[in-house]
Amino acid sequence: MQKRKLGKSNLEVSALGLGCMGMSFSYKPFPEKQASIDLLRAAVERGVTFFDTAEVYGPFINEELLGEALAPFRAKIAIATKFGFDINPDGSRGARPTNSQPEHIKQAVEGSLKRLKTDVIDLYYQHRVDPEVPIEDVAGAVKDLIAAGKVKHFGLSEAGAQTIRRAHAVQPVTALQSEYSLWYRRPEEDIIPTLEELGIGFVPFSPLGKGFLTGKMDERTKFDSTDIRSSIPRFSPEAREVNQALVDLLGQIGARKKATPAQIALAWLLAQKPWIVPIPGTTKLHRLDENLGAVQIELSANDLRGIESAASKITIEGARYPEHIEKMTGL
């Protein structure tokens, strides 16, 4: 497995990480616990060294899953987790949507360390920007945790360019995690230039468009009411019918490269910058193998120009989130 460094930091990870949320959050039905443990360990065997979780996934049970599954390999992998939602120690939600008060962060890290069965978190992200807490205070709290040896690197998720700059001035930001793919390209406007200027790595989540870019669904696909996609405008049957044009494009390129649409979508992301590390999620071993195969696909400058030209003629239909969720981002 190829390795990449996240920006100018010394955090070197596999070129593709594994997003673990779907093992216990948002995409029911969830696999049996042992099946997830087996998948996580299979990922390690295949060279994946970067695993992404969060305290809110469950809440808590996703971190517990990774802690159990990855304990035997802890010395050779990097675990990223996140704080920032208002969660009580018993798992119930607090009174506020987000909570990045410094005292709450320092309480949250103790729980994450325990659940992950580790004494240090490799990359600790603020999960969502908290409008009630200055980002300088958040960065300062994580700086304290780094000084205490409980955290190695500071990250942000779904933060805007100015927020990134303000945080970075207090405690260098190692990575930003935000949605980025061929069907959500807003980070290209000001986020990616800001990251490049500051030497910050980029970790795209939903690099396969929550499964849509795999080509394994169409306008007839049904989602359970517990599946987050059932409430996302971009996944309405009408939107999927329009957006299929992008999947068709990936399929056409894949046919020439002897690759799947998902592999082309991931190869395209990897080709954008050498400090981009996508984290596709899956609960299936054959999908893990398919995704990892993207690392071997080389897209030439001519290939990339062709994709850009064709993609520019496709207008994506539907918002990426319901309005109440989109409001929680710092973009």
Residue 149 lies in a domain: yes
The domain of 157 spans 3-210+269-297
Residue 330 lies in a domain: no
Helix (H) or strand (E) holding 102: helix 102-115
Residue 224 lies in a domain: no
Q: What is the pLDDT of residue 2?
A: 96
Q: What is the pLDDT of residue 13?
A: 98
CA nearest 264: which of 310, 220, 222, 221?
310
**CATH, residue 16:** 3.20.20.100
Q: What is the pLDDT of residue 330?
A: 65
Distance, CA of 16 to CA of 270 (rounded, Å):
9
Q: What is the pLDDT of residue 227?
A: 86
Contact yes or no for 79/115 (Cβ under 8 A):
no
Task: Write out the catalytic residue numbers.
Answer: 57
If one counts the domains in the chain, the total is 1
Residue 27 lies in a domain: yes
Residue 251 lies in a domain: no
Residue 175 lies in a domain: yes
What one-letter code names the amino acid at 99?
N
Residue 102 lies in a domain: yes
Q: What is the pLDDT of residue 89?
A: 86
Local mean pLDDT, 10-residue blocks, the chain (331 residues): 96 98 87 97 98 97 98 97 94 93 97 98 97 98 98 98 98 98 96 98 96 91 88 93 93 96 98 98 97 97 94 93 79 61
> DSSP of 270-282, one letter per residue?
HHH-TTB----B-
Residue 55 lies in a domain: yes
